[in-house]
Amino acid sequence: MIPVILLLLLLKLAAQLWLERLNRAHVIAHADQVPEAFKHVVDNDTYAKSVKYTLARSRLHLVELSWEAVVLLVVLFSGFLPWAFAFTQRLLGSSPSAAAVFVLVVGIVVSLPGLPLAWYEQFHLEQEFGFNTTTPRLWWIDRAKGLGLSLILGFPLLLLILKFVEWMGQSWWLWAWAALLGFQLLMLVLAPVLIMPLFNKFTSLPEGSLRDRLLALADQTRFRAKTIQVMDGSKRSRHSNAFFTGFGKFRKIVLFDTLIQQLSEAELAAVLAHEIGHYKRKHIPKMMVASALGSLVGFYVLSLLAVQPWFFRAFGFESPHPAVALLLFGLLAGAITFWFSPLAHWWSRRYEYQADAYAAEAMGEAGSLVGALRKLSEKNLSNLTPHPVYSGFYYSHPTLVEREAALAIN
């Protein structure tokens, strides 16, 4: 069993490293001058900077991939997990709550080796290219808040899942899946109201021509939102975005303050129309259904592995335990799901095309959306020449050229 697991993990790593090097070679091959398709998008200096930024991020990603693989292999095969499980049982007993603590603590420990690279990315790479606006103090506060939320929200969910193993017998995985689905739906309501304000400040868009224009677009498209809010994304980064969150009476439109600074009113309206397009085409519920089906399959596979002694012996455990099965499954699932990412991203890009088409129809023209996409690509130093295979594995959105071509057809 161990050779099979090692093969799966190493195949994934090899594919990721190959994809990264393939993309780097493709970017370098187009680095000498602005490709003809982008001469109207960026000037020579900005394009050169975007190439440098892409290659710098690629170098860091190569290090991250290798380091994450080393950490995972050490965690899985060094005997750390059986030791940690035995230590937790000696300290806290063998109750479901103790098992939930084991899963959470190991999850936290596994994430710690990645902190230095995350720090480097924020305060060296992003700083070098002018994107970083956060402070070390705020960076650590964000991580402390994230840890607190993981404990506050993750512990009850894990405990409930482990309780279902006791209560429901062989059908526990169905109940666990239902619990996870209910938790995700609850988060759709709570996140905009309770969680997101812990990290960012949200203020109502001031009265004026922009607010009037966006509200008129919402009325025109029959998109009812509780409010249009501005998020202070600039306190962490100069990258920009827009989204809507929540549902029903809790739905609200959110614009990054950096986005408002970068785009004209017509372009901001086009971006909002794109987000409304996702709502009108029911992309979010469709993706939630797909995610729910995927997690259902995952829980079923987990239920099969959870009773297989060979699965646990491969990692040094003497006997099966549901908490151990949950942890191992979480650590190993990426070795399988990685190979399905092109399909997931193809589906996501298809929805992006549909949202773009809706925005062009709602605006009565495509120029404003094209202008917004070009500015965002320029301001964010986006990779304008990704290798097609690389973008298939990693890009949830079409490239700028692909989106412009689709809008021109429509």
Can 121 be counted among the known catalytic residues?
no
- Choose, from 20, 356, 378, 404, the residue flagged as catalytic: 356
d(Cα 354, Cα 276) in Å, to the nearest integer? 11
Q: Tell which residue, 275, 220, 235, has the closest CA to residue 251.
A: 275
DSSP state letter for 192 = I
- Choose, from 275, 352, 378, 404, the residue flagged as catalytic: 275
Can 275 be counted among the known catalytic residues?
yes
Q: What angle do CA 293, 297, 301 make, to 5 degrees?
A: 165
DSSP state letter for 206 = P
First to last CA, the chain: 52
d(Cα 13, Cα 9) in Å, to the nearest integer? 6
d(Cα 17, Cα 23) in Å, to the nearest integer? 10
The full DSSP string for 312-365 is HHTTT-SS--HHHHHHHHHHHTHHHHGGGHHHHHHHHHHHHHHHHHHHHHHHT-
Residue 320 to residues 61, 105, 158, 173, 327, Cα–Cα distance (Å) = 36, 19, 17, 16, 12
Catalytic residues: 275, 356
